[in-house]
Amino acid sequence: MKIRKADKKDYSRIMEIWESSVIATHDFLKQEDFELFKNLIPDEFLPQLNVFVI
């Protein structure tokens, strides 16, 4: 098993996991808020974070 820092090529899979997790657990979230975060996370948030993938 190899752990490494995520890069842009990983963002689509990270966002798939994020989206399915949010849909399953955040029924209180308005659709427009969901869309806002869905657009902000890969462009604004992920590049600023230390995210690791296996």
Instruction: Give me the number of domains the chain comprises.
Output: 1
Domain of residue 23: give its range: 4-53
State pLDDT tens for residues 40-54.
999 999 999 999 999
Alpha carbon 45 to its chain's center: 9
Residues 6+ apart with CB under 8 A from 8: 47
CB 19 within 8 A of CB 46: no
Q: Model's pTM, two decimal places?
A: 0.89
Report d(CA 52, CA 49) in Å as an integer: 9
pLDDT per residue over 4-35, tens digit each? 999 999 999 999 999 999 999 999 999 999 99
Count how many Cα atoms sit within 13 Å of the Cα of residue 2 in the half-sphere of its side chain. Answer: 3
User: What span, in angstroms and rounded, lies between the C-alpha atoms of 46 and 11?
Assistant: 8
